[in-house]
Amino acid sequence: MSTMQPALLSAIVTLLAVLFVFYTGVRVARMRGKHGVHAPATTGHPEFERAYRVQMNTLEQFVMFLPLLWIATSYFGTVGWLAPALGLVWIVGRIVYMQGYMAAPEKRGAGFGITMLGNLGLLILGIVGIVQNWIAIHAA
């Protein structure tokens, strides 16, 4: 993994994350059909509502995840594979979140925690990388 460029690895992680977001949308569409929940309704059968909440929460997290991934990739060059690896942590967190939430909403905590670990790691890498670059620019 370390021989590949960080941007290429993050691009792969981005595509995997987008595919997961797409998958959550397909699940919601299937649940609409299965349970007869017609648009624009967002309530109905509990299984549909759980799928819908997984999709919405994933979209909410995606808005934070995507810029953090690319800021960390762009500015934290010390360990180039670390940002994409944390991106994979985020994806795993989303999968665990989905499985837990679909089983029972109170089982979503582990997946949410893993997701936030990925986001927090990326946030820290982004801040460290920006500070390092800022110092390097102003030291010259």
Note whether residue 1 is domain-resident.
Answer: no
Rounded percentage of the chain residues whose pLDDT exceeds 90: 95
2 has pLDDT over 50 = no
The Cα 35–Cα 24 span in angstroms is 16
Note whether residue 138 is domain-resident.
Answer: no
Note whether residue 139 is domain-resident.
Answer: no
92 has pLDDT over 60 = yes
SS3 36: coil
Tokens encoding 47: 């299984």
66 has pLDDT over 70 = yes
Give the mean model confidence (pLDDT) for residues 94-99. 98
What pLDDT is attached to residue 4? 77
- Rg, Å, the chain Cα set: 18
Task: Output the domain CATH number for residue 29.
Answer: 1.20.120.550
- Residue-number span of the structural domain to which 45 is assigned: 6-133
Q: pLDDT tens-digit profile of 119-129?
A: 999 999 999 99
Note whether residue 140 is domain-resident.
Answer: no
Give the chain's domain count: 1
The confidence band for 67, taking pLDDT boundaries of 50, 70 and 90, is very high
- Cβ–Cβ < 8 Å for 82, 125: yes
29 has pLDDT over 80 = yes
From residue 77, give the alpha-carbon distance in Å to each of 88, 116, 119, 126.
Answer: 18, 22, 18, 10
Note whether residue 126 is domain-resident.
Answer: yes
